[in-house]
Amino acid sequence: MAKPKAFLGIDLGGTKIHVVAIDQDGRVRASGRAATEPKRGYRKVLATIAEVATSVADEGEVRIKDLPAVGIGVPGIVEPRKGRIVMAANLGWSDRDIATDLGELLGSPVVVGNDVNMGALGEMAFGAARGLRTAFAAYVGTGLGGALIVRGKVVNGAHGFAGELGHMPAPFTQRQCGCGHRGCLETSASKTGMMQRIAEGVARGEKCLLPRDGTLKTSAIRKALDAGCPTTMAAVDELAGALAYGLASIGTILDPQAFILGGGVVEGLHERIVPMVAEQMPRHAALYARHAPDLRVAALGDDGVATGAAFAAMQRA
């Protein structure tokens, strides 16, 4: 069987669906996206995924039904071998057989993985983690996800929970997390956590220069920081401090060669956030008082998760 010209990977996020077609060297041949809008329901979201994937496949000059597999990264806990979503808090989904359901729509087998695991897989194959034997990836977006790379492979763990940095207990807040617990690291080190911190500050009468439209765009955060907005600065400080705590904790256990930092918040604000994290990690782990942490910004940017998912499909082939 001839190798396909391209492989498809899907990044299913809380706000967007992003699909890429990559060649054997990881180059993006085609891409497309649509809004997720999870409130429409599981089946309608899957229908949108199939529509975007079909369009991208056409542009990439492949037929989905001829592919050995299509990969998808999902924001939550998954059972990779079964292709099931255990819990995707930011989508409001649980116990969903997405491999079967999406596979029926696409007419191709579907490889399912946690979105950050897929992002780490892409960085390992084509990006910032290439050539490393051990690394930890942390993606800061709507939520906070993590992934372990050991001996050049992404580790899922016995139940698919390996690397779930966002849901480790943390000593920063008692905010409600989407998983049902309170005080998870994600409630501080994520865009959702920032929104909550800003709302709390405004309620206390703090001055805030951000738009009051219920959204929080990275470009608006940058603009507010440049203008010296105290509430935005406090939210970014909280995020960086919480992320430093989480990475230092992981480092004490894993001692990885490098940390790969990605997600929309890091991509848009890495010049400010990454140095703050590096500065604070030694406060939480003696290891980093002796050895400066190697913090690398994810190289694949917005295509990272989808590229990793496509690579997972390529591995299936």
Query: What are the boundaries of each domain within the chain?
Result: 7-120+302-316, 131-298
**13 vs 77: CA distance, rounded Å:** 13
pLDDT at position 218 is 86
Continuous segment of H or E residues that includes residue 54:
helix 42-59
| Tokens (6 digits) for 183 | 């005080």
Q: Return all residues near 44 (Cβ < 8 A) that are at least 6 apart.
A: 37
pLDDT at position 307 is 97
CATH topology of domain 7-120+302-316: Nucleotidyltransferase; domain 5 (3.30.420)
- E-only strand ranges, the chain: 7-12, 16-22, 28-35, 70-74, 77-79, 84-88, 93-96, 110-114, 134-140, 144-150, 153-155, 258-262, 295-297
**311 vs 305: CA distance, rounded Å:** 10
pLDDT at position 142 is 82
| Tokens (6 digits) for 14 | 């809380």
DSSP 185: G
How crowded is the C-beta side of 173, counted as CA atoms within 13 Å?
Answer: 23
pLDDT at position 2 is 64
Sign of CA dihedral 163, 164, 166, 168: negative
| Among 142, 144, 146, residue whose Cα is nearest residue 154 | 146
**310 vs 94: CA distance, rounded Å:** 24
pLDDT in tens, the chain (317 residues): 567 889 999 999 888 999 999 999 999 999 999 999 999 999 999 999 999 999 999 999 999 999 999 999 998 888 878 888 988 877 889 899 999 999 999 999 999 999 999 999 999 999 999 999 999 999 998 889 999 989 878 888 887 788 889 999 998 889 988 788 999 999 999 999 999 999 999 999 998 988 877 678 888 899 999 999 999 999 999 999 999 999 999 999 999 999 999 988 998 999 999 999 999 999 999 999 999 999 999 999 889 999 999 999 998 87
pLDDT at position 1 is 53
pLDDT at position 80 is 78
How crowded is the C-beta side of 89, counted as CA atoms within 13 Å?
Answer: 18
Residue with tokens 């998870």: 184
Q: Which amino acid is at 106?
A: L
Top-tier CATH class for 131-298: alpha beta
Bridge partners (DSSP) listed for residue 70: 110
pLDDT at position 264 is 87
